[in-house]
Amino acid sequence: SNMEPQLLSLPPPPRVLIFPFPCQGHVNSMLNLAQLLCLSGLHVTFLNSDHNHDRLVRHTDIQARFACYPGFQFNTITDGLPVEHPREGESILELCFSVNSITRPLFREMLVSGQFGLVNCIIADGIMGYTIDIANELGIPIFHFRTISACSFWAFFSIPQLIEAGEIPIKERCVFVTTEGNEDMDALVKSVPGMETFLRSRDLPSFCRCSDVSNPVLQLVKNETQQSPRARALILNTFEDLEGPILSQIRTQCPTTYTIGPLHAHRKTRLAKHATNTLQSSSNSSSLWEVDRSCMTWLDQQPLLSVVYISFGSLAVLTRDQLIEFWYGVVNSKKNFLWVRRLDSTPGNKEGESEDIPVELVEGTKERGYMVGWAPQEEVLAHKAVGGFLTHSGWNSTLESIVAGVPMVCWPYFADQQVNSRFVSEVWKLGVDMKDLCDRTIVEQMLNDLMVERREEFVKSTAEMVGLSRRSVSEGGSSYCNFDRLIEDIKLMSM
């Protein structure tokens, strides 16, 4: 036809370089974004840390998942830490600093020397806000993507105002301490616009719990987050019906903010439209740990909505005392449970030390409990036997729970999680928040509230949110349309 010669002369699609911070929750969601871009016909280069890439390749069929997109390629870069260096718990701070001091200049060098080939546009993890200076220097358009909620982003963004007003630092507390708080911690915070009526000191990002505003983590988070208004646009893994009011606040500073989440659900909608059989049969795992699927068989044998799924994500490290309190609480609640215990997720797992879990606890779990090192979480949450989620309120976990309609008991560990859990309990009413408490009677009571006492209330609110979340990623939904606009935007500026 007449069209053919024209089509043939079209330039190749734009190539987008995607650069996540090297952590599970960041790699997950940005791989979903990468796949969405591929499905829209763009070419994508995904830049992993060497360390994560090895793990990804070892534990998943990630190569197969992307093999069907000819324009897709992986590249790797060092995260600046030795292979054996731990990358969870407090060690995550060292990762932040090594990425900043070692990966950052290397990233610039690799771009300058053309190691990624022609790059039309960069989508960088906004926690590495400095990417904007590098992109500007080289004249490459750049977007910032944040893996956190809009409400957490906005709390991070408000750190200068919080400091100015003297509302932080919240003295004598450290990022990793979640002790029982005093009354000061319950005072409402006034300097995060839109949250004045419900955000307490204890709900602020954990970095605010420091003795001095010169705290390097607080400074890093503040400085990087402040860069995002300079990006071409901000991309968030959330949806309008969930965070509309806070998104309006964000848009006063970052006028072009694309909400395109929940990405894991969005990916599924688009994939279903494009799918050939090969596409659909490849799994969606992007786990850095070996997934233990035996828990699915165990779940199949459990009664409807009877199981509490327990997972504290990819970074949290519990003390032995915390572990024991959780264990007693769960056992005493008499609920069935599936518990994810990552290797090394308690310090007691170190060589030569024993966890010394009391015998009656281990016995008490045999009938009703199942434990794995790493679960296929999306599938677990979607399983009909799962009725509740005891979570650390990481943003991916929260979104996965929302889409699956599973109410939550929140025990935030650090970073953005303190903010998320407040929204889950007070704003969205999708569960209860037990932050800063870790006591067997509280755990038991919270699980009982979730699964029995307040069940009806939570069933209603979670069901509503399931509908809204699914609609947002369906054709014509807000996230679906925003993603189409994002693609247009990328194409326009790559011309």
Q: What is the Cα–Cα distance from 144 to 232, expressed in whole angstroms? A: 8
**Cβ neighbours of 187 (radius 10 Å):** 12
| Alpha helices, DSSP H, located in 120-262 | 131-138, 150-157, 159-164, 216-225, 240-251
Nearer to ligand UDX, 15 or 144 (CB): 144
Binding segment for ligand UDX among 6-14, 95-103, 353-361, 371-379 (CB under 6 A)?
371-379
Residue 20 binds ligand UDX, judged by CB under 6 A: no
From residue 236 to residue 275, the character string flagging contacts with ligand UDX as x (rule: CB under 6 A) and all else as - is ----------------------------------------
Catalytic residue among 26, 51, 266, 383: 26
394: its two tokens: 């990481």
Amino acid at 159: I
Nearer to ligand UDX, 120 or 336 (CB): 336
374, 389, 423, 428: which one contacts ligand UDX (CB under 6 A)?
374
Q: What does the DSSP 8-state code read for residue 99?
A: I
Shortest Å distance, C-beta 84 to ligand UDX: 21
- Segment 434 to 473, residues that bind ligand UDX, using CB under 6 A: none
CA 153 to chain centre: 12
Residue 213 and residue 168 in contact, taking contact as beta carbons nearer than 8 Å = yes
Residue 23 binds ligand UDX, judged by CB under 6 A: yes
Return phi, psi of residue 334, to 5°: 60, 20
Annotation says 26 is catalytic: yes
Annotation says 186 is catalytic: no
Burial class (CB in 10 A: 0-12, 13-18, 19+), 237: buried
Residue 378 binds ligand UDX, judged by CB under 6 A: yes
8: its two tokens: 């043939």
From residue 417 to residue 436, the character string flagging contacts with ligand UDX as x (rule: CB under 6 A) and all else as - is x-------------------
Binding segment for ligand UDX among 219-227, 239-247, 299-307, 395-403 (CB under 6 A)?
395-403
Nearer to ligand UDX, 339 or 458 (CB): 339
Residue 155 and residue 419 in contact, taking contact as beta carbons nearer than 8 Å = yes
315, 338, 386, 408: which one contacts ligand UDX (CB under 6 A)?
315
Shortest Å distance, C-beta 2 to ligand UDX: 48
Return phi, psi of residue 149, to 5°: -70, 160
Number of residues in contact with ligand UDX, rule: CB under 6 A?
Answer: 25
H or E element in which residue 270 lies: helix 263-274
Shortest Å distance, C-beta 7 to ligand UDX: 39
CA 3 to chain centre: 44
26, 51, 268, 270: which one contacts ligand UDX (CB under 6 A)?
26
230: its two tokens: 């300079």
37, 340, 408, 409: which one contacts ligand UDX (CB under 6 A)?
340
Residue 394 binds ligand UDX, judged by CB under 6 A: yes
List CB contacts of 304: < 8 A, sequence separation 6 or more.
384, 385, 387
- Segment 198 to 237, residues that bind ligand UDX, using CB under 6 A: none
Nearer to ligand UDX, 416 or 444 (CB): 416
Q: What is the Cα–Cα distance from 232 to 407, expressed in whole angstroms? A: 36
List CB contacts of 317: < 8 A, sequence separation 6 or more.
88, 89, 90, 344, 345, 346, 347
| Alpha helices, DSSP H, located in 282-390 | 294-300, 320-333, 359-365, 377-382
- Segment 282 to 301, residues that bind ligand UDX, using CB under 6 A: 287
Shortest Å distance, C-beta 399 to ligand UDX: 8
Residue 80 binds ligand UDX, judged by CB under 6 A: no
- Residue 22, CB half-sphere, CA atoms under 13 Å: how many? 31
39: its two tokens: 């499905």
Q: What does the DSSP 8-state code read for residue 188?
A: B
Catalytic residue among 43, 53, 79, 125: 125
151, 155, 263, 415: which one contacts ligand UDX (CB under 6 A)?
415
CA 114 to chain centre: 31
Residues in contact with ligand UDX by CB under 6 A are 23-26, 28, 147-148, 287, 311, 313-315, 340, 374-375, 377-378, 394-397, 400, 415-417
Q: Which residues belong to the active site?
A: 26, 125
